[in-house]
């Protein structure tokens, strides 16, 4: 797996298709929608933070994220490691009395960080490369058993995975999506 794209980073993929000016205008539009659309309703009750799965372990404070968004401090957040601490458990979105979704704001900020060429943390690059080449985040794994052996998918009587019917076509179409901004 991943023979063809080992050399390619997410930054390459996100900057190869469109001019930087287009990128910037799309980002600005996105931010305006976020600020006007959601953050004005937040009255800082911090119910999101009190239930946040990442709060105790990594000090994520979703209500602060909304407050910073409200004040337009976008670049500060995009440049901060804190946006990458969200566990996407969706408790904040579920429990907000004002229907503000901090988890969705964090997804948008992470997307913006990637679009502006920030370093993507951890194994995300590897997962993206795998999806682009075989359609899954990883290839079929050999797994351990409790009795100390290892087995493969085909040893277990499971049907063969069909996989992608046209991997090259899929790759081209998906690459176009990977550089597009929602």
| Residue closer to other proteins (CB basis): 19 or 159 | 159
Q: How far is the CB of 148 from other proteins (least distance, A)?
A: 10
Q: Which residues of 78-96 are buried (b: 16+ CB within 10 A; e: fewer)?
A: beeebbbbbeeeebbbeeb
The contacts of residue 37 (CB under 8 Å, 6+ apart) are none
Q: How far is the CB of 182 from other proteins (least distance, A)?
A: 4
- State residue 39 phi and psi, 5-degree precision: -70, -20
Please state, in angstroms and as integers, the Cα–Cα distance from residue 53 to each residue in 78, 135, 150, following that order. 21, 30, 34
Please state, in angstroms and as integers, the Cα–Cα distance from residue 139 to each residue in 6, 124, 149, 170, following that order. 15, 15, 20, 16
| Residue closer to other proteins (CB basis): 71 or 161 | 161
Q: How far is the CB of 146 from other proteins (least distance, A)?
A: 6
Residues forming a β-bridge with 143:
151
Report the interface residues with other proteins, using CB under 8 A. 10, 14, 53-54, 57-58, 84-85, 87-91, 93-94, 101, 107-108, 110-111, 114, 120-124, 127-128, 131, 135-141, 143-147, 151, 153, 156-159, 161-166, 169-170, 173-174, 176-178, 180-182
Q: How far is the CB of 160 from other proteins (least distance, A)?
A: 9
| Residue closer to other proteins (CB basis): 71 or 173 | 173
Q: How far is the CB of 120 from other proteins (least distance, A)?
A: 7
| Residue closer to other proteins (CB basis): 68 or 106 | 106
| Residue closer to other proteins (CB basis): 71 or 167 | 167
Task: For residue 58, give the nearest of 76, 94, 84, 77 by alpha carbon.
Answer: 84
């Amino acid at each position: 797996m991943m023979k063809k794209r080992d050399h390619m980073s997410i930054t390459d993929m996100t900057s190869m298709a469109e001019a930087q000016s287009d990128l910037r205008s799309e980002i600005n539009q996105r931010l305006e929608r976020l600020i006007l659309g959601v953050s004005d309703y937040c009255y800082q009750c911090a119910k999101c933070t009190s239930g946040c799965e990442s709060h105790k372990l990594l000090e994520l404070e979703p209500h602060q994220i909304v407050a910073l968004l409200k004040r337009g401090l976008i670049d500060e957040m995009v440049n901060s490691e804190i946006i990458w601490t969200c566990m996407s458990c969706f408790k904040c979105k579920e429990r907000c009395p004002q229907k503000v979704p901090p988890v969705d704001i964090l997804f948008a900020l992470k997307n913006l960080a990637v679009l502006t060429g920030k370093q993507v943390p951890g194994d995300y690059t590897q997962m993206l490369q795998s999806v682009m080449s075989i359609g899954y985040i990883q290839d079929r794994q050999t797994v351990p058993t409790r009795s100390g052996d290892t087995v493969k998918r085909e040893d277990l009587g499971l049907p063969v995975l069909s996989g992608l019917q046209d991997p090259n076509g899929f790759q081209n179409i998906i690459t176009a999506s990977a550089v597009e901004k929602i």
